[in-house]
Amino acid sequence: MTVEQPTEESVRAPGRDWFQSAVVYQIYPRSFADSNGDGIGDLRGIISKLDYLHGLGVDVVWLSPIYTSPQDDNGYDISDYRNVDPLFGTLEELRELTDGLHARGMKLVMDLVVNHTSDEHPWFIESRSSKDNPKRDWYWWRPPREAADGSADGPGVAPKNTAPNNWGSAFSGPAWEFDQATGEYYLHIFSRKQPDLNWENPQVRAAVYEMMNWWLDRGVDGFRMDVINFISKDTALPDGPIAAGMLYGDGTPFYIGGPRIHEFLQEMHREVFAGRTGPLLTVGEMPGVTVDEAILFTDPARAEVDMVFQFEHVALDQEDGNKWRPKKLKLTDLKATLGHWQTGLAERGWNSLYWGNHDQARAVSRFGDDGPYRELSAKMLAGILHLHRGTPYVYQGEELGMTNMTFGAISDYRDIEVLNHHREATTHLGHTDAEVLAALAPLNRDNARTPVQWDASRHAGFTTGSPWIAVNPNANHINAAAQVDDPDSVYSFYRSVIALRHSEPVVSHGDFTMLLPRDEHVYAFVRSLPDTRLLVLGNFSGQDQDVTLDDADVPLAWGSAELVLGNYPADAAVPRLHLRPWELKVFRAGAARPDR
């Protein structure tokens, strides 16, 4: 079937324009604000901070899962899609939160986790109860394949080496769990308590769409869809290649972007979003997605999702994409990757822009300098990211320049991904505890999950009780109370960057041109519309840098260009194209020169 190509006017139509100029703020509820002293953040805590979010200027709040859950993976294992876990509050409080956001001109996006459920979800409890249960086919069940030696460990125990295929779980260990009651295995790409739903079954899809409509009817403004490109799988479930030093096969070629993924997303759009009025947002988290695939997913004419989260730039500081083998990031690699995405989605589709989230390390520790240049580099990173073409995401605490945490022992960690890897690496892969802890430190997810630092009081004002995970000790000088009213703070700089996006159409709609692609220290680009140009310069180093630009490539009238944003005090003695350590400069000029 030939798909009609959208015009520039359709891409910039009012229905899409709202999120093209918007900024999204992600809240990880258990670490945001605790209202009742149990050490876990909650909805009432979020409600108490709505004016803080409104003051920052964000347009959308994305809420990580607050559904009923055993909390095996901090809520990404859902046992009831239509209720709030008592840890976080009630449906009534969620309604109050939604109303409070709407009253302040903000929208609420919920996390949608439908690649898998909890093993305590009623659907799975029924599914595992017997082979002939009507919901058996709602999940991926397979009988053991015959072992080479036909051996078993005893009655009711899986024969050795008989998993249906050799796939490994994203959380270490095998991707299959043997169920003694029925003598079959079920698939879990993540934790064994997160069985994968079988989207081949139309009843599963119908149940998911019904649930999504229920939330939209309650006033929710859209969904961020967790690993949504995993929902279509190669039904043959073949073995995957086993990389050197790994225990299990790589199943991603058979469940990332599977054969029916576009069909499923288009069906979801028809059944849930088509015909609804008002601005809604659909964001697909898609590990392994390519630019060419993202064009298809986000092309408005195809009606799948509004934007995707891609992971290329957050894999550049890892050996072979393995986060437990970190390496130094090269700025030229970062520019090449982000520039490729800017160019690839320039005509169709839309970019999501982010440095961090609940699954990534803290932005200033990873991409900036969390030592003497913490504030300057946090501001520079904000300017560089938000002035790209796309919708920027701010992860809680990023607007304060919060940093990575130092965890002294494995007992300090809470993340199932870390705990499983440590166990496997020290017991099966032969690594020492010290080796594993050193490898975990830079990129582990708990770096981003320490509580938001509200003030310099005990536990940073997050809770009056004992926090579920330790507060970063630097809260005594990195906190919201010290920044909200300080015009030179990181928080205030984020306000300025967000305001610039809201006020300048060139930021949301302008063309993007990367400059200096081979420079290892300076990130430079131009945003342009017929009547406006922005030149954005960022120094990704702790040394002064002189910037040399080819004037033929930068159609700015330098004599009249205005410095509209910077993270240093203005100093006429500093040349316009000289950058101090971690400096950001943004120049604005009017129409291009007549000779262009």
Q: Cα(207)–Cα(114) distance, rounded to whole angstroms?
A: 10
Per DSSP, 186 falls in state E
* 115, 108 Cβ separation under 8 angstroms: no
* 215, 95 Cβ separation under 8 angstroms: no
Strand-pair partners of 141: 186
Identity of the amino acid at 446: D
Please give the C-alpha separations between residue 497 and each of 63, 377, 500, 504, 592, in angstroms, as whole numbers.
22, 14, 5, 11, 24
Q: Cα(235)–Cα(331) distance, rounded to whole angstroms?
A: 40
Instruction: Tell me the H-state helices in 129-285.
Output: 202-217, 252-255, 261-268
Q: Hey, what are 210's tokens?
A: 């019904």
Q: Is 4 a residue of the active site?
A: no
* 480, 487 Cβ separation under 8 angstroms: no
Set 72, 73, 285, 304: catalytic member? 285
Q: Cα(506)–Cα(389) distance, rounded to whole angstroms?
A: 9
Q: Hey, what are 482's tokens?
A: 């010290």
DSSP H helix total and E strand total for the chain: 17, 22
**CB contact set of 510 (below 8 Å; sequence gap of 6+):** 389, 527, 528, 529, 532, 534
Distance in Å from the first CA to the final CA of the chain: 41
Give me the sheet containing 184-187, strands edge to edge: 141-142, 184-187, 176-179
* 21, 502 Cβ separation under 8 angstroms: yes
* 374, 401 Cβ separation under 8 angstroms: yes
Query: 574: left (phi > 0), else alpha (psi -120 to 50), else beta?
Result: beta
Q: Cα(222)–Cα(21) distance, rounded to whole angstroms?
A: 17
3-class secondary structure for 38-98? CCCCCHHHHHCCHHHHHHHCCCEEEECCCEECCCCCCCCCCCEEEEECCCCCCHHHHHHHH
Q: Is 200 a residue of the active site?
A: no
Q: Is 100 helix (H, G, I), strand (E, B) or coil?
A: helix
Q: How remote is the C-alpha of 176 from its chain's centroid?
A: 26
Residue 33, Cβ neighbours under 10 Å: how many? 23
Set 226, 317, 398, 446: catalytic member? 226
Strand-pair partners of 111: 224
CB-count burial class (<10 Å; 0-12, 13-18, 19+) for 419: middle
Strands 281-285 and 307-309 turn out to be parallel
Q: Cα(331)–Cα(308) distance, rounded to whole angstroms?
A: 23
**Residue 280: closest CA among 568, 548, 18:** 18
Identity of the amino acid at 582: W
> Which of the residues are catalytic?
226, 285
